[in-house]
Amino acid sequence: MTRKCDVFIVGAATTGIYLGWQIAKQGHSVLIIDKNARNQVGQRLEIIHFHRKTMKDLNIPPPTESPEFLFNYKGISVSRLPLFLQRMYKVLESDGVEFEFSCRFKELIFENNRIIGAKVEKDNTEIEIKTRLVVDASGIASCVRTSLPEDYGIETWNFDSSNQFFVILHYIKWIKSDEKHPEWGDIWPYYFVFFDPGYTKTEAIMGIAGPESYEKAAILTEELISREKFPEFELIKKEYNPFAFSRTPYSLVADGFFCAGDSASITNPLAARGIPETWRLCNEAADVISKALKTNEYLSREALWDVNVRYFRGIGAELAYIYMLTAVIFQLSENEINFLLIKLRSIFDPEQVNDDEEEIKLSFGKILKAGLKILWSIICGKIGIRSVGRLLKAFSRSGKIKKHYKKFPENPNDFEKWRMKAEEIWNQRTRATKLFQSTSAVYP
Ligand SMILES: Cc1cc2nc3c(=O)[nH]c(=O)nc-3n(C[C@H](O)[C@H](O)[C@H](O)COP(=O)(O)OP(=O)(O)OC[C@H]3O[C@@H](n4cnc5c(N)ncnc54)[C@H](O)[C@@H]3O)c2cc1C
């Protein structure tokens, strides 16, 4: 059996649907598949925080009604992800997007060493998809990107224990809610334990972003709970989710191919989210893709190159800056990181957040304020001299990588030289090993 479409997308979660929708609205045929059944997609992560500003900017109909919408909190809508996806499937279908669920990507089809389609499997039947562009929106599975030939012009690395966090979310209810207990927004940064809004205003999600494995994350959670003597809580349920934590591949496009979302590690490491950044990338990518589709030419790497230029010079440069900085954050001692958090919180996580607040960019004003507070911490002796040295080096490396990304080459012929220089800077990012009471852990 054979099917045809202009754009074929693997993954019907937040990345796949937003990109597919934007391309379909420009008059092209789009087929999106997902290995899960229609009503099962997104179940891995029930509660999601959508930034209202992103939704408004990108004309995404925001969640407004229960049970999908839960409540607003600091510029975000606390909502149910599976229900958001179900609602959006109908919106996309009314704009002409086609879906196949319970349908798994198997392999790519090549002609003259270039992608011309893919094979998928549904109900034990193989279907050949003939298409002009294959998009990997399969999340951490990265099933299309990692199946590409090594020399196809895009990196094929997998996610493993070294480049992701293993997040365990405990949906909890305090047994004595009037007793003093951690509040939403409280974090134990050395352990990466945080408290987020839960289903209702009296519940919470206690999360841990653990390095190495879920087992390690569980050990660290137990250690912190007993050390801090949290009051008793009822566990409603636990969710296990990976969080992509690495630099993005140096190119997001190749002949007949584009990747975005978690499959390309488009995540904001400090804000622990990925959807707004990916949607903004997809918004720009859809324009480039649509323009290329209208030419009737093959969608070569060159034709798609502008996606790279726009991403790496814009959001990509900001995310690279932050990801480089995180290495030094993991190297701080528990006292140092706790002290800095108290000092820096009002800058990076203000009590009131406006809906029109810039989301990604660390503004000059914020960096300056943070710099002054760090300087004060050094003068007071709250940050050790070794850490000061590391911090200075990290800021310098972050600045270098951002500057380099902002010079992402317009001409694909200049890419190799750019890539080698980027590699040289990234190689200076070292991974930290942290010591805990019961174990040690290597951070990504
Ligand atoms: C605990 C946690 C909380 C988070 N909270 C937020 C938040 O509040 N806000 C935010 O912006 N971000 C958040 N993030 C990050 C965000 O969840 C991800 O960045 C985002 O969901 C990635 O979306 P995606 O569509 O790229 O991938 P996914 O959501 O992983 O979707 C990939 C889809 O591809 C399908 N698929 C995989 N393999 C195949 C195959 N072989 N064939 C067919 N289909 C396949 C899967 O079934 C899946 O539906 C959080 C992450 C974690 C871990």
**Per-residue pLDDT tens digits for 414-426:** 999 999 999 999 9
Q: Report the C-alpha gap between 227 and 324 in whole angstroms.
A: 31
Question: 360 in ligand 1 pocket by Cβ < 6 Å?
Answer: no
Q: Tell me, in angstroms, the distance from the centre of ligand 1 to residue 408's CA.
A: 27
Question: 167 in ligand 1 pocket by Cβ < 6 Å?
Answer: yes
Question: What is the band of 351 on the pLDDT scale with cuts at 50, 70, 90?
Answer: low
- CA-nearest residue for atom 28, ligand 1, is 139
**Residues in the chain, total:** 444
Task: Let me know if 265 is exposed, middle or buried by CB neighbors in 10 A (0-12, 13-18, 19+).
Answer: buried
Q: What is the pLDDT of residues 316-337, one digit of tens each?
A: 999 999 999 999 989 999 988 8
Q: Residue 63 pLDDT > 90, yes or no?
A: yes
Its pTM stands at 0.94
pLDDT greater at residue 7 or residue 52: 7
Q: Residue 45 pLDDT > 70, yes or no?
A: yes
Q: What is the pLDDT of residues 204-227, one digit of tens each?
A: 999 999 999 999 999 999 999 999
Dihedral angle at the C-alpha atoms of 33, 287, 409, 113, nearest 10 degrees? 40
Question: 225 in ligand 1 pocket by Cβ < 6 Å?
Answer: no
Angle at 158 (CA atoms; ends 238, 108), nearest 5 degrees: 110
Residues of the chain with CATH 3.30.70: 164-244
Give me the half-sphere count of Cα atoms (radius 13 Å) on the Cβ side of residue 286: 24
May I ask the CATH architecture of the domain 2-157+246-304? Answer: 3-Layer(bba) Sandwich (3.50)
Q: What integer pLDDT is reported at residue 362 of this predicted model?
A: 61
Q: What is the pLDDT of residues 366-386, one digit of tens each?
A: 777 777 777 777 777 778 888
- CA-nearest residue for atom 16, ligand 1, is 274
Question: 256 in ligand 1 pocket by Cβ < 6 Å?
Answer: no
Strands 76-80 and 69-73, how do they pair?
antiparallel
Q: What integer pLDDT is reported at residue 80 of this predicted model?
A: 96
Q: Tell me, in angstroms, the distance from the centre of ligand 1 to residue 12's CA.
A: 9
Mean pLDDT of all residues in 350-359: 56
Q: Tell me, in angstroms, the distance from the centre of ligand 1 to residue 15's CA.
A: 8
Q: What integer pLDDT is reported at residue 28 of this predicted model?
A: 98
Question: 81 in ligand 1 pocket by Cβ < 6 Å?
Answer: no
Q: What integer pLDDT is reported at residue 391 of this predicted model?
A: 85
Q: Tell me, in angstroms, the distance from the centre of ligand 1 to residue 205's CA.
A: 18
The rounded percent of the chain whose pLDDT value lies above 90 is: 79
**3-state SS class at 232:** coil
Lowest mean pLDDT among 208-217, 305-314, 350-359: 350-359
Q: Residue 358 pLDDT > 50, yes or no?
A: no
- CA-nearest residue for atom 33, ligand 1, is 11
Question: 168 in ligand 1 pocket by Cβ < 6 Å?
Answer: no
Mean pLDDT of all residues in 227-253: 96
If one residue of 36, 138, 214, 323 were mutated to test the ligand 1 pocket, choosing by the most ligand atoms within 8 A of its CB, it would be 138
Ligand 1 atom with least separation from CA of 120:
42
pLDDT greater at residue 178 or residue 119: 119
Q: What integer pLDDT is reported at residue 129 of this predicted model?
A: 98
- CA-nearest residue for atom 26, ligand 1, is 261
* Identity of residue 162: S
Q: What is the pLDDT of residues 244-269, one digit of tens each?
A: 999 999 999 999 999 999 999 999 98
pLDDT greater at residue 356 or residue 252: 252
Number of H helices, E strands in the chain: 11, 18
CATH code assigned to 164-244: 3.30.70
Question: 136 in ligand 1 pocket by Cβ < 6 Å?
Answer: no
Q: Residue 360 pLDDT > 60, yes or no?
A: no
Mean pLDDT of all residues in 191-197: 93
Mean pLDDT of the chain: 92
Question: 243 in ligand 1 pocket by Cβ < 6 Å?
Answer: yes
Question: What is the band of 357 on the pLDDT scale with cuts at 50, 70, 90?
Answer: low
What are the Cα distances from residue 376, in Å, to 327, 380, 398?
Answer: 22, 6, 21
Q: Are 159 and 244 in contact (CB under 8 A)?
A: yes
Residues of the chain with CATH 3.50.50.60: 2-157+246-304
